[in-house]
Structure 1
Amino acid sequence: MSSAVHWAPHLRLLGMVVLWGASWPAGRVVAQAMPPMAAAALRFLMASAVLLIWLHRTRGLGLLRAWDGRLWLGMTAAALTGVFGYALCFLMGLQHLPAGKAALIVTLNPVITLVAASWLFRERINRTIGLGMAIAALGAVIVISHGQPWLLLQGAVGRGELLIVGCVLCWVVYTLLGRWLLVGVDALATTAVTATLGAALLTAASLVVEGPAGFGAALQSGAAAWQALLFLALGATAIAYAWYFDGVKALGAGAAAGYITLVPVVGVVSSALLLGEYIDAATIAGGVLAVAGTALMNRGRR
């Protein structure tokens, strides 16, 4: 095996990290310029078109004919949480919260997922995982509370923080649904179908809540907003997922999960560089703890 072939999956996973990390400042740009439901619908309409073409080229569309009603019900539930709910909380949260801070709050994702999995599926949590969970949770709490955790007891949490926590909860439910209902289903087929169903749900919701004017306002947004939206649809969704699946196939889920640890770091740095966001001491301290805790959790799981 040549050196280039050996390093190719690692380079793709690094590319995935950059794309997913940069999705936070891109989402902030879109959220400030477009109605959130229309923007989310357009994002997943474009992404699902690319994913369905990709699925067709790999001859995966034929697999869908063998799916039963239970599997389609699971796909619909996954689309409601992992696409519809997540996409709305993502863009609505970024209307109120800096992108770098939002990226760090999402480090709660593996913590809550593991807690739920240990309860529902009796997954064992060893000492290393438990310590990592505690550190990551502490870091996220510091970021959410702006370095004043005691304020959480007084309910002093902003709308943006609550919406990004909503992102986390939607993704946790999506992950657990996948483990429960979608076992043995091709990952690309799952992503393409849930993205397509989610796009349909988002389109319907936008037309009902925002009206046709929502899409009209999105279409009339400036070039910067559309560049960011195209990046979210094609880069952070279609291409990033392709590289992620390739990395999992070549290196295993554990190694790929290790790279995901770097996503919030890229999110903070890219938000500072691209949007000029200020990184305060509480964000740095909480971010270091959150990323370190997540890395420790991944080590414990391996």
Structure 2
Amino acid sequence: MKSIEAGAAPVKGTQGRRRVVAVLSLLGATLFWAGNYVVGAGAVQSIDPLSLVFLRWTIALVPLLVIAQLVERPSWRSVLAAWPWLLALSVCGLLGYNLLLYFALEHTDAFNASLINAFNPALITLAAAVFLRERLTPLAVAGVLMALAGVLIVISGGNMARLISTGFGTGEVLMVGAIVVWTAYTITGRLAPKIPPITATAVQAAVVVAILGPVRFATGGVALPSTGTVLASLLFIAIFPSVLSYLLWNRALTVLPAAGAGVFLNLITLFTAILTVLAGQVHTAAQLVGGAVVIAGVVVTNAPAFRQQKRTRELPEA
């Protein structure tokens, strides 16, 4: 019996270390995605959104392809056979979402954009119930409504009467559009053939470059970074949230359940708040209260799925 226990201890310890590494990977991924809001808000002051999206995925494309080949070793023939799905995913996700995000950042601040984006998991849950016939529990409905209330607090600045009289701001409307197309991306992804995640991202990046390149050159050319600071911002966006975040996120998913990892997405808003405070931005009470309500609603929405996956989870042995 002692020999069995002694042999089990290293396995348990190894699993514990893998979970710690997975959690750190999720923290890194969400921190870099938060950085995309903050750095992107500065970058769009010098580079138009079309050029920024084109340059971002042009720079990220080569490392994504190399990593996909080294890590996932996909069957490229099978991948290319799914081109209609990949085209749809590219238009909704890497192209549509990022364009709307960067256009939104021309009109609203990074923290506001991240607060609206925090509603996305709840919207995805609602869309999955409508289009995929996934079961929507009363608790999930309550969570969606709570998250929606939080978004309205953020958009209205805490004054619903003003929102009714003046309507939504341009940045807020664009950001709502961004989470709608990302929801379409997510639902489409659940229906599409299963493709290794980094490979899928690399191919979608190639599609975005192929689409935006001719469009941008036909409409005045690509706006290149004019200063070292802008160049550094572009390189950060192209490498950290575009390549490293995907690598870290997918590494974590080999250890942790998807529902458990999904909870970490709420940290994007928290990290964005911290980064913007460090940058000197002052947040309003409506932003803080609304953000807390949104995150609470998202946690409530995803609680049933998280509990179910936690009960059935089996950690891989080392």
Task: Tell me the TM-score normalised to structure 1 length.
Answer: 0.92
CA 1:5–1:109: 2 relative to 1, 3 Å: closer
Q: Counterparts of 1:273 and 1:236 in 2: how far apart (Å)?
A: 19
Q: Counterparts of 1:82 and 1:93 in 2: how far apart (Å)?
A: 15
Task: Show structure 2 runs of 5+ residues with no match.
Answer: 1-12, 307-318
Task: Show structure 1 runs of 5+ residues with no match.
Answer: none
Larger displacement relative to structure 2 (47-56 or 127-136): 127-136
Q: Secondary structure at the match of 1:218?
A: coil
Match for 2:76: what amino acid? L
Larger displacement relative to structure 2 (197-206 or 281-290): 197-206
- What does residue range 97-112 of structure 1 map to in structure 2 within 5 Å? 97-112=108-123
- Structure 1 residue aligned with 2:134, among 100, 105, 123? 123
Match for 1:187: what amino acid? P
Give the conservation status (yes or no) of the 8 Å contact 1:24–1:271: no
Q: Counterparts of 1:164 and 1:218 in 2: how far apart (Å)?
A: 25
The CA deviation string for residues 176-219 of structure 1, in whole angstroms up to 9 with x for no partner, is 1111223x22222211111221122222222233x12xx2x323
Q: Does 1:172 align with 2:178?
A: no
- Structure 1 residue aligned with 2:216, among 206, 213, 224? 206
Q: Counterparts of 2:51 and 2:19 in 1: how far apart (Å)?
A: 42
Deviation of 1:68 (Å): 6.1
The CA deviation string for residues 211-253 of structure 1, in whole angstroms up to 9 with x for no partner, is 12xx2x323x222222121111110110001010011111121
Kindly report the root-mean-square deviation, in angstroms, between the aligned alpha carbons of the 2 structures. Answer: 1.6
Q: Counterparts of 2:124 and 2:165 in 1: how far apart (Å)?
A: 26
| Partner in structure 2 of residue 64 of structure 1 | 76
Q: Does 1:196 align with 2:201?
A: no
- Structure 2 residue aligned with 1:160, among 146, 168, 171? 171
Q: Does 1:296 align with 2:305?
A: no
The share of aligned pairs that are identical, in percent, is: 27
| Partner in structure 1 of residue 224 of structure 2 | 218
Q: Counterparts of 2:248 and 2:203 in 1: how far apart (Å)?
A: 18
Deviation of 1:115 (Å): 1.5
Match for 2:272: what amino acid? G
The CA deviation string for residues 269-300 of structure 1, in whole angstroms up to 9 with x for no partner, is 212212x2220111111011011111222222
Q: Counterparts of 1:226 and 1:120 in 2: how far apart (Å)?
A: 42
Q: Does 1:185 align with 2:195?
A: yes
Q: Counterparts of 2:195 and 2:138 in 1: how far apart (Å)?
A: 32
Deviation of 1:168 (Å): 0.5
- What does residue range 19-98 of structure 1 map to in structure 2 within 5 Å? 19-58=32-71, 60-61=73-74, 63-67=75-79, 69=81, 71-98=82-109
Task: Tell me the TM-score normalised to structure 2 length.
Answer: 0.87
Aligned length: 293
The CA deviation string for residues 111-145 of structure 1, in whole angstroms up to 9 with x for no partner, is 22121111111111112222221111111111112
CA 1:178–1:277: 2 relative to 1, 3 Å: same
| Partner in structure 2 of residue 231 of structure 1 | 236
Match for 1:230: what amino acid? L
Question: Between Structure 1 and Structure 2, whose CA radius of gyration is higher?
Answer: 2
Match for 2:77: what amino acid? R
